[in-house]
């Protein structure tokens, strides 16, 4: 489950996700090639370092800004459908719409709120390879002061001429597959309504309070 | 020395003294120090300030400790510890803790099929909602609206949405507008529906912007106004709302270049207004 069991991976993922801040600011390659995929991930690593070291704004403001960019950098509707598996077919149109909305909120909130506390970590692309007919897998490591490096893999696919992330692996563990497994458990227990309730619970939680 | 010169002379001195006293007050206030560290992204230091307060029985610090554990900030994420802190804070009467504890129990119920957890969650949410916590009113309304853990009851859902909407929660305003539009849980009222869609839209609620565009395009609950419809649809489409994007295309095909220009200008003004209201929050 994303929220608790994989918190360390998610925090690191968020650091990388933040790098998508820059995707809108650089010209995107017309087609997804090994070079364009690698250079985007390499560039986002550097941009992440720059953005995360920026101070002077509140945590909530930074996370809100990052949230908007996560929506741009990830193909969230694709990830959402994958996470739901076969249940997508039997869901009503209303349930599908609500699920897409809640899943997006959940993913954006989960990743965005993990950016704080980042310091001195840098991303280095170590390789890139084709995966199937449509995807590129970019291998990278996060190098951390006084800690072991962590291997992060990025699966990219082209949507409407833009590279989008459709999965992230941390030390070989796919976040999309992990999510799908957790959702399968919830669907067995409570069906589609149970899953929607879980996502509502995760997205309606309140943050720290000053008084 | 003129008055202005006196002011200019003493202003830096006054600012220095204010900063000095503010700093001294923060030194005396570990909660504030923790807050400051948190906002700088230094969650480890925030925890160092808040934990002793929490252990000493401060409900607000207990609540914030729960959030740190729930979100894995400055500590490894740990739902059980988060819930333990929220449980203590809830006993101390801190409503946000009841709210978060209830949601964590709903997670437990969803993941483990734990019915007792669901029942406790409902009690906690009711307590927080009755105590005036807007978020709990909204969460509870959703449970009644979808029949989750309770028997579906649109009338109760609508009453709770009204409370939360009046308090300014955009999501509640949007959902209340849908109830009013569809006549759920009470009589249909298209004018009130449009008004609530507009309140939520002006807070930047994207789906409310999209639905408001439809109201203006059809003249339902408002005077028909395709220019305003296109302005709102443009804003929502810009945030990735698919229905709005389709409506933008259709409206642009049907409107004159002058009307489209007017809509674009209106969209820009609305965007500025929404951004300004967000800055004030």
CATH 1.25.40.10 fits B1-131, yes or no: yes
Nearest CA to B157 out of B186, B189, B118 is that of: B186
Instruction: Answer whether A143's CB lies under 8 Å from A19's CB.
Output: no
Alpha carbons B164 and B162: distance in angstroms, whole number: 6
pLDDT of residue A8: 53
Is the minimum CB–CB distance between B209 and chain A shorter than 8 Å? no
C-beta atoms of B110 and A194 within 8 A: yes
Mind giving me the DSSP string for B169-231? -HHHHHHHHHHHHHTTTS---HHHHHHHHHHHHHTT-HHHHHHHHHHHHHTSSS---HHHHHH
Contacting residues of A for B207, CB less than 8 Å apart: 101
pLDDT of residue B241: 84
Binned at pLDDT 50, 70 and 90, residue A4 comes out as very low
Q: Choose the mutation target among A98, A197, A199, A203 for the interface with B, i.e. most B CBs under 10 Å.
A: A197
Closest chain A residue by Cα to residue B97? A206
Q: What tens-digit pLDDT sequence spans chain B (281 residues)?
A: 555 566 555 655 555 555 555 555 555 799 999 999 988 878 889 999 999 999 999 999 999 999 999 998 889 889 999 999 999 999 999 999 999 999 999 998 888 877 888 889 999 999 999 999 999 999 999 889 988 778 999 999 999 999 999 999 999 999 999 999 999 999 999 999 999 999 999 999 999 999 999 999 999 999 999 999 999 999 999 987 888 999 999 999 999 999 999 999 999 999 999 998 876 65
Which residues have C-beta within 8 Å of that of residue A37, sequence separation ≥ 6? A128, A136, A138, A154, A156, A163
pLDDT of residue A5: 46
Contacting B residues, span 108-167, partner chain A, CB-CB under 8 Å: 109-113, 135, 138-139, 142-143, 146-149
| Option in B41, B77, B106 nearest A197 (CB) | B106
| Option in A55, A115, A189 nearest B40 (CB) | A55
C-beta atoms of B39 and A58 within 8 A: yes
Q: Choose the mutation target among B36, B71, B108, B114 for the interface with A, i.e. most A CBs under 10 Å.
A: B71
Contacting residues of A for B138, CB less than 8 Å apart: 204
- In chain B, CATH 1.25.40.10 covers 1-131
pLDDT of residue A54: 67
Mean pLDDT of all residues in A86-95:
92
Supply the ipTM of this predicted assembly.
Answer: 0.80
Which residues have C-beta within 8 Å of that of residue B276, sequence separation ≥ 6? none
Within chain B, strands assigned E span: none
Architecture of domain A7-197: Roll (3.10)
How many helices (H) and strands (E) would you count in chain B? Answer: 15, 0
Q: Is A174 helix (H, G, I), strand (E, B) or coil?
A: strand
pTM of the model: 0.80
How many helices (H) and strands (E) would you count in chain A? Answer: 7, 5
Q: Is B106 helix (H, G, I), strand (E, B) or coil?
A: helix
A184: left (phi over 0), alpha (psi -120 to 50) or beta: alpha
Q: Where are the domains of chain A?
A: 7-197
């Amino acid at each position: 489950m994303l929220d608790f069991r994989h918190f360390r991976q998610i925090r690191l993922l968020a650091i990388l996700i933040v790098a998508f801040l820059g995707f809108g600011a650089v010209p995107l390659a017309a087609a997804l090639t090994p070079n364009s995929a690698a250079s985007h991930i390499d560039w986002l690593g550097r941009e992440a370092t720059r953005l995360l070291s920026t101070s002077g704004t509140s945590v909530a403001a930074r996370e809100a800004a990052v949230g908007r960019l996560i929506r741009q950098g990830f193909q969230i509707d694709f990830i959402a459908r994958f996470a739901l598996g076969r249940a997508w077919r039997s869901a009503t149109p209303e349930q599908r719409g609500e699920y897409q909305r809640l899943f997006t909120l959940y993913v954006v909130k989960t990743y965005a709120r993990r950016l704080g506390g980042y310091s001195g970590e840098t991303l280095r692309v170590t390789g890139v390879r084709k995966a199937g007919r449509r995807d590129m897998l970019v291998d990278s490591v996060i190098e951390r002061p006084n800690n072991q490096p962590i291997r992060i893999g990025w699966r990219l696919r082209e949507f409407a001429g833009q590279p989008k992330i459709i999965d992230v692996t941390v030390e070989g563990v796919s976040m999309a597959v992990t999510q799908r497994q957790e959702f399968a458990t919830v669907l067995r227990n409570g069906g589609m309504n149970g899953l929607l309730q879980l996502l509502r619970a995760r997205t309606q939680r309140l943050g720290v309070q000053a008084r | 020395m003129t008055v202005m010169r006196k002011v200019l002379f003493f202003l830096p001195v006054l600012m220095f003294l204010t900063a000095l006293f503010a700093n001294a007050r923060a030194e005396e206030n570990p909660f504030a120090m923790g807050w400051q560290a948190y906002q700088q992204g230094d969650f480890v230091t925030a925890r160092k300030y808040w934990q002793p307060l929490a252990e000493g029985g401060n409900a607000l610090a207990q609540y914030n400790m729960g959030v740190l554990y729930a979100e894995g900030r400055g500590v490894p994420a740990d739902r059980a510890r988060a819930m333990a802190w929220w449980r203590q804070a809830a006993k101390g009467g801190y409503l946000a803790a009841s709210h978060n504890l209830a949601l964590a129990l709903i997670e437990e119920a969803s993941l483990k099929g734990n019915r007792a957890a669901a029942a406790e969650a409902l009690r906690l949410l009711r307590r927080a909602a009755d105590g005036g916590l807007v978020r709990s009113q909204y969460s509870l309304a959703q449970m009644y609206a979808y029949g989750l853990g309770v028997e579906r009851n649109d009338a109760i859902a609508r009453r709770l949405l009204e409370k939360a909407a009046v308090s300014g929660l955009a999501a509640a305003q949007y959902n209340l507008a849908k109830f009013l539009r569809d006549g759920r849980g009470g009589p249909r009222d298209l004018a009130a529906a449009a008004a609530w869609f507009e309140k939520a839209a002006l807070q930047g609620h994207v789906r409310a912007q999209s639905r408001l565009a439809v109201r203006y395009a059809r003249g339902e609950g408002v005077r028909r106004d395709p220019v305003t419809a296109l302005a709102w649809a443009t804003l929502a489409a810009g945030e990735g709302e698919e229905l709005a994007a389709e409506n933008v295309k259709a409206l642009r095909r049907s409107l004159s270049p002058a009307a489209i220009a007017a809509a674009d200008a209106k969209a820009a003004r609305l965007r500025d207004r929404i951004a300004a209201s967000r800055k004030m929050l």
